[in-house]
Chain A
Amino acid sequence: MQLAKLDIATSVAAALFGAYVIVEAILYGVTSDIGPGAGTFPLVAGILILVFAIANLARTLRGAMPDALRLEGSIQLPEVARVLGTIVLIGVYIACFDKLGAFLPLPFLMVGVSLMIHWRADLRWLATLILSSVLFTTVCYFVFARFLGLLLPSGPLGF
């Protein structure tokens, strides 16, 4: 997707969000007996968001954006796939966290993220990934569980 188009979409979303914040702020109460109410500052934030989102949208649509600020290029599908893939893997790890413990699924997450970023069907590369993941998981265990004494869930293997 072109970055300029994404910027337009983001500005529209921000303007709608700004309007929502303003409405909520008014519902909280802009004034009270002792001065500004709970909604005063959200109102300021909402106005800032709405006004500047519209300003950004207007100058992008009018083509009035200075050259130095113009967004060139695009976000390619592989980049989106890498980012979202990494997030999905973190989500899977979070889901396993309580049942399998913090450290047992960690090497899998690390290898998964590595392959997501840079896929290579190469046994030597895979061995490097596995080794570095296991090594770093061990480091994490000693730093976070032993040294810093973090309360982490244990898995079926006791760690």
Chain B
Amino acid sequence: MDTLHLLLAGLASASAPQNLLAVLVGVLLGLFVGALPALGPAAGVAILLPTIVNLDPTVAIAGLAGVYYGAMYGGSVTSILIGVPGDSAAMMTVMDGYPLAQKGEAGRALGMAVYASFTGGLISLILMTFLSTWVAQAALAFGPVEMTAVIVLALCLVTVLGGDDMIKGFLSLGVGLWVAMIGLDPINAVPRFTFQNIHLLEGIDFTIIVVGMYGLGQMFAALADTGQNARATAKYSMASLFPRFSDFLLCKWTLFWSSLIGFVVGVLPGAGATAATVFAYASAKRTSNHPEEFGKGAIEGVAAPESANNAASYAAMIPLFTLGIPGSGTTAVMLGGLLMLGLQPGPQLFSQQPEFIWTLIGTFYIGNLTLVFLTLALIPLLAALVFIRVSLLFPIVISVVFFGIYSINNDVADVGIGVLFGLAGWIFTRLRYPMLPFLLGVILGPLLERAIRRSLIISQGDVGVFWQSTIASAIFAVSILLVVYGALTPAIRWYRNMRRTRNA
């Protein structure tokens, strides 16, 4: 009941004009970012990150979050109409959305995508509202030992589940941890890896790293192509852009279960919205009465991934706000935003700044509803966005990135550092090194170091302190199991393949 009152109060303050404007601008930008094939939600949020420095924290984060979930809606439009997913989370929507559009049923698919996104978002938001309070209350009892265990688990989850290559994941994590250690040692104030450069004594601002890696890095990686986008083959009329109510009824269970799958997968650090769409699609196909239609234009094939990816996007914010641990690339970027605004996400945020957190959750509800109307109204415009040449788009991105990075410290040298990280992002993307472990290494590395060193100082150097807490021991055990699972799975797969080849 208490949570309900807090939510209602949050909804009331979220309705303040400045918050509504932030949501509107955020979701609009998100829709465009989602529709543009060259930019994903993480890049979109990263590029806009430095522009929020001078804004009120609630307004700023409401806007950034709007970009995130707006992109989830926007990605489906181009997937359905022209078969080009706006971002990786919209990949599965192409499977059935595009065939539907080719059959002249684009309206059905788009209507379902919007409805499924709304349903997934709403179910996830309701779960988030009630679970967040509970998780935050439980986390309040965490000391440095338990926090160490949680951070280690998050790093293991992201590295093992976050990409398909665990070796590159750990290598990426190691480099991220190293970057986090540039600057003064937090306990002894010894300069580390500063190369006698006074600018590096305070370390490298996380925002510069994230904007460089995502904003510039992904843009550089997109230059592998000649820079020109695919062209549409599907034709649709304005009259076809209306959903059918009977489809909503037909897909009600698909929507419900896919939203739950999206929520569960989204909460897990590292799994992400794309994995959620794959699981939801597979589950919908398995439970369908006509699985043979999947891939040829089944309406459930649009409902499942769209509800899952939106549910996952909200669910990913639970570990961010309650534990201060981002579970996806976009929430990692958002964490940068929170830190930049002087907010330390974690359980204390719920007890010390309830107004901020509940207003923010209120804006999520408003944003989710706003997106239904905005997406339907802007479908033709969003579809047209895909034809913008990257040669026109990228100079704009570069300019925004430039001013954005410069605005952090009013220092042009930061732009140079951002470009270097852009170059690193390009190499990461082209060589398929996952970026998320790197970013989590940068964000969580200092927290982990402080937590471990504080624990050891309190215990006077006794390493056994980490096993004295039951919660910490259990979390450490799960982390070890995860790494063992990650290491054994490819080995078992390789052994099975060998046996199969030998038998053949």
Contacts and interface: CB of A to CB of B under 8 A. Distances in A.
Interface of A: 3, 6-7, 10, 14, 18, 21, 24, 28-29, 32, 34-42, 44-49, 51-53, 55-56, 59, 64, 66, 68-69, 71, 75-76, 78-79, 82-83, 86-87, 90-91, 93-94, 97-98, 102, 106, 109-111, 113-115, 117-118, 128-129, 132-133, 136-137, 140, 143-144, 148-152
Interface range on chain B: under 10, 10 to 19, 20 to 34, or 35 or more?
35 or more
Contacts of B457: 34-35
B490 interface: yes
B174 A148 contact: no
Interface of B: 51, 53-54, 164-165, 167-168, 170-171, 173-175, 177-178, 181, 185, 187-188, 190, 192-193, 220, 223-224, 226-228, 389-392, 394-396, 398-400, 402-403, 406-407, 410, 412, 415-416, 419, 422-423, 426-427, 430-432, 441, 445, 448-449, 452-453, 456-457, 460-461, 490, 493-494
19 contacts: A6-B430, A10-B427, A18-B174, A21-B178, A34-B187, A35-B461, A38-B192, A44-B177, A46-B178, A56-B168, A59-B167, A66-B493, A79-B223, A83-B223, A86-B394, A90-B402, A114-B394, A118-B226, A132-B392
Contacts of B419: 87, 90-91
Interface centre among B174, B190, B220, B416 (most CB of A within 10 A): B174
A83 B220 contact: yes
A38 B185 contact: yes
Nearest to B390: A117
A11 to B, nearest CB: 8
Given A7-B431, A41-B449, A117 B412 contact: no
Contacts of B403: 102, 140, 144, 150
B181 A42 contact: yes
Contacts of B494: 64, 66
B481 to A, nearest CB: 19
Contact of B171 (A14, A66, A93): A14
Contacts of B398: 86, 90, 109-110, 113
B178 A117 contact: no
Given A34-B457, A118-B228, A42 B190 contact: no
B452 A117 contact: no
A26 to B, nearest CB: 12
Contact of A45 (B165, B178, B427, B490): B178
Given A71-B432, A78-B226, 14 more contacts: A3-B431, A7-B431, A14-B175, A38-B185, A40-B453, A41-B181, A45-B174, A66-B493, A87-B423, A111-B395, A118-B389, A136-B396, A144-B51, A144-B403
A19 to B, nearest CB: 12
Given A38-B190, A98-B412, A53 B171 contact: yes
* Contact residues of A: prevailing secondary structure: helix
Contacts of B461: 34-35
A152 B411 CA distance: 10
Contacts of A76: 224
Given A45-B181, A49-B174, A56-B171, A94 B415 contact: yes
A5 B160 CA distance: 25
B171 A75 contact: no
Nearest to B456: A35
Nearest to B186: A38
A117 B394 contact: yes
Contacts of B410: 150-151
Contacts of A91: 416, 419
Contacts of B441: 45
A9 B65 CA distance: 39
